């Protein structure tokens, strides 16, 4: 895309990224956050539980906050071993946001027996796009290894996080020693074509070249892929808000169309009366349409 296509379809700028989710009580427990250590060694990944209990189906509850650092070989808490896992990747143009501020969707999901994982990755300028994609891949492999009896891993990302989640459609799991039990993708207000980012100020921290953008664009990767590591029958929901910018609408629809051409079980949803931030913050509400889409998909597919 040339710079001429950016005006009028411009993605939100940095000033918008400073907005934070509404203040309120912190979500009750069950959010498992995985993050890499400085070494990047898969065995050094840690599990941190934000609170002390996880509600599971049937009204059972139990402690899950044993300690913040465990070797990957340790046994998982029994209450988590056979649950569906919802793995979330935060947005922020790959240069803001964190797992600690992104667990607002925990309560409505854990109340229905879903384990929630909020993933950390090294944002720019510390991390490059290649490193972020690799860290996210490692995090999913870690969850699969640690909870091999899971009832399905469902990936969800918002904005830049949707980009990272979409990159997992064609990830090479062989080098990570685990093929995750991926059962669904929820791609919310995502960015799938990175070339336009080269022409806006957000690239100052990313230092993204054309080669970087092409290598890390889910749209391009999908179009040139020779194989589909993830089962094509795995549902992929591409979601955008009514008041998202035109560029988000364009990218979401074009990525959905590319998925359909590739034979994926993809669907496209435009959610009424929400903007780029409300579309994800509203996951705090159990009756919110996206919350219900997620739960319906998980419990139909698990």
Q: Which of 159, 217, 245, 252 is catalytic?
A: 159
Q: Where are the alpha helices (DSSP H) in 159-277?
A: 160-167, 203-206, 210-215, 218-224, 246-261
Two tokens at 162? 């949707």
Distance CA 108, CA 113 (A): 9
87: closest CA among 190, 183, 177, 231? 183
Task: With beta carbons less than 8 A apart as the criterion, state whether 64 and 29 touch.
Answer: yes
Q: Is 245 in the active site?
A: no
Q: Is 267 in the active site?
A: no
Q: Which of 35, 244, 245, 252 is catalytic?
A: 244
13: closest CA among 217, 220, 159, 188? 159
234: closest CA among 140, 280, 137, 300? 300
Q: Is 276 in the active site?
A: yes
- List residues with catalytic annotation: 159, 244, 276
């Amino acid at each position: 895309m040339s710079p001429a296509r950016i005006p009028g379809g411009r993605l939100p700028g940095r000033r918008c990224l400073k907005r934070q989710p509404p203040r309120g009580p912190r979500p009750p427990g069950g959010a498992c956050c995985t993050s890499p250590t400085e070494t990047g060694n898969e065995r050094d990944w840690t599990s941190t539980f934000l609170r002390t209990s996880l509600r599971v189906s049937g009204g059972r509850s139990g402690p899950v906050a044993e300690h913040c650092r465990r070797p990957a070989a340790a046994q998982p808490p029994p209450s988590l071993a056979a649950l569906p896992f919802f793995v979330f990747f935060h947005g922020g143009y790959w240069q803001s946001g964190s797992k600690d501020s992104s667990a607002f969707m925990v309560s409505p999901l854990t109340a229905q027996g879903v384990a929630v994982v909020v993933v950390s990755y090294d944002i720019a300028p510390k991390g490059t796009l290649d490193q972020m994609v690799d860290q996210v891949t490692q995090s999913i492999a870690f969850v699969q290894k640690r909870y091999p009896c899971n009832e399905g891993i469902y990936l969800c990302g918002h904005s830049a996080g949707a980009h990272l989640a979409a990159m997992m459609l064609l990830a090479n799991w062989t080098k990570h020693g685990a093929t995750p039990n991926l059962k669904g993708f929820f791609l919310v207000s995502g960015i799938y074509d990175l070339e336009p980012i080269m022409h806006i100020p957000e690239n100052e921290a990313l230092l993204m070249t054309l080669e970087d953008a092409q290598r890390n664009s889910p749209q391009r990767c999908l179009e040139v892929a020779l194989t589909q590591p993830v089962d094509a029958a795995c549902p992929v929901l591409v979601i955008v808000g009514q008041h998202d910018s035109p560029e988000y609408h364009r990218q979401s629809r074009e990525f959905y169309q590319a998925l359909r051409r590739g034979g994926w079980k993809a669907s496209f949803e435009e959610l009424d009366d929400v903007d780029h931030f409300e579309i994800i913050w509203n996951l705090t509400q159990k009756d919110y349409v996206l919350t219900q889409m997620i739960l319906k998909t998980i419990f139909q597919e698990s």
